[in-house]
Chains A and B, each alone.
Chain A
């Protein structure tokens, strides 16, 4: 079965069957990356450009590793050290890179919708590696894959997404994915950081962390994205931590197993304490490992459609 799309622009634009196929293929790649020789030759005739117009550590490295494990040729670009600073438009930059015979583009961009725009104007296949506050599809896929690994399936699972929902592309992509896979989602955070029309996405809302954690099987703890906050959304980080931090006393009070996720980067001591982040219940590093397998699956399946 081919995917229903040539690009991965967002979870919103793909089908449930696509997600299942990506998960199944990622199972195979997870086995591959645990072999003594972790490389397969599938994408050896493909060149992938990693265009990062916004900072990234995990996602960029994870994509690069996935590409290398698939034997693709890669070129890297980051906005900080490029002609973007000299006033070049997005389309010009990308077209210049594509003139070098690139087959796929992995792009992170601060503007929501940038990959969709690009998809309308270029031939190469596009993978969205995060566009502003809009979507981060591969993060949602790896979160879903990690949950599926932990619980067997996503259907009927209760997942809480806690923190800065307003500025989080991880939250939006996760909501789309979990809804498509039949899981229940509840978002939790200060009222100012919950988007106004969140109900229209079919999720529950709570402003009480303890209640939310009692309800859910897994909690995805998000970072406060101060760099995207142009105004003050809450009085202080200290107050935020008092109300919305996942710490050991709270975890122990719940008296039930809770799977804890975090897309990184972690602000230790703000949304989550070190003790909890490093505890047995946290699957944060499993998420990172699964990220490579999931990205290999996405690149492999898209490349197969040429």
Chain B
């Protein structure tokens, strides 16, 4: 069984894409007053940390709230899996009541994680608005009516393929690639 890797951001495109997304965020949110960025555990937190860093570089002195949300207890496949998923930490030391929330995840696929996140988030209050930011949108595989507001790249994939995101924040080399297995 061979695995083929397809680099989704070749020739150093990843930083450019991240800059583009951050500029879009600045366009929407201006001074980021009352804005909270929530990275989804386990892998969305690294992208959210990077977004935060790029925003801080682009707008020196910017102040925004940042948290990390675990959705394990809100998943809809509990007891439908072989074994329960091991939960991760939630770190949110503020309320999202009356705030504008940006949910951040690395890959959007079926949309079920985002649904669980929308649910999990409500434990911290009722936000004024929620937008979704993803680095890779695997199109045409959605099982729920959920679409991202900010996207790094859209890709068409089949079920046997996997999208791997290895950011520096997670000890990787800033590599994002599509893994295809050939039997």
- B15 lies within 8 A of chain A by Cβ: no
- A145 lies within 8 A of chain B by Cβ: no
Q: Are B86 and A31 in contact (CB under 8 A)?
A: no
CB distance from B75 to the nearest CB of A (A): 8
Give A contacts to B, CB under 8 Å. 1-2, 21, 24-25, 27-28, 31-32, 35-43, 45-46, 70, 300-301, 303-306
B residues near A38, Cβ cutoff 8 Å? 123
Q: Mark B28-70, 1 if CB is under 8 A from A, else 0.
A: 0000000000000000000000000000000000000000001
In the complex, what residue of chain A is closest to B81 when comparing beta carbons? A304
22 sample A-B contacts, Cβ–Cβ < 8 Å, listed by A number: A1-B83, A2-B84, A21-B86, A24-B86, A28-B73, A28-B87, A28-B89, A31-B89, A32-B90, A35-B124, A36-B123, A36-B125, A37-B122, A37-B124, A42-B78, A43-B78, A45-B79, A300-B84, A304-B81, A305-B83, A305-B84, A306-B79
What total count of A-B pairs have CB within 8 Å?
A: 61
Q: Are A41 and B83 in contact (CB under 8 A)?
A: no
CB distance from B20 to the nearest CB of A (A): 35
Q: Are A31 and B73 in contact (CB under 8 A)?
A: no
Q: Are B73 and A303 in contact (CB under 8 A)?
A: no
CB distance from B55 to the nearest CB of A (A): 27
CB distance from B41 to the nearest CB of A (A): 10
B residues near A24, Cβ cutoff 8 Å? 86
In the complex, what residue of chain B is closest to A21 when comparing beta carbons? B86
**Given A37-B123, A42-B78: A32 and B73 interface contact (C-beta under 8 Å):** yes
Which B74-94 residues have C-beta < 8 A from chain A? 74, 78-79, 81-84, 86-90
Cα-based distance from A298 to B64 in the complex (angstroms): 37
CB distance from B114 to the nearest CB of A (A): 16
Cα-based distance from A27 to B88 in the complex (angstroms): 9
Q: Are B84 and A304 in contact (CB under 8 A)?
A: yes
Q: Are B86 and A303 in contact (CB under 8 A)?
A: no
CB distance from A44 to the nearest CB of B (A): 9
B residues near A45, Cβ cutoff 8 Å? 79
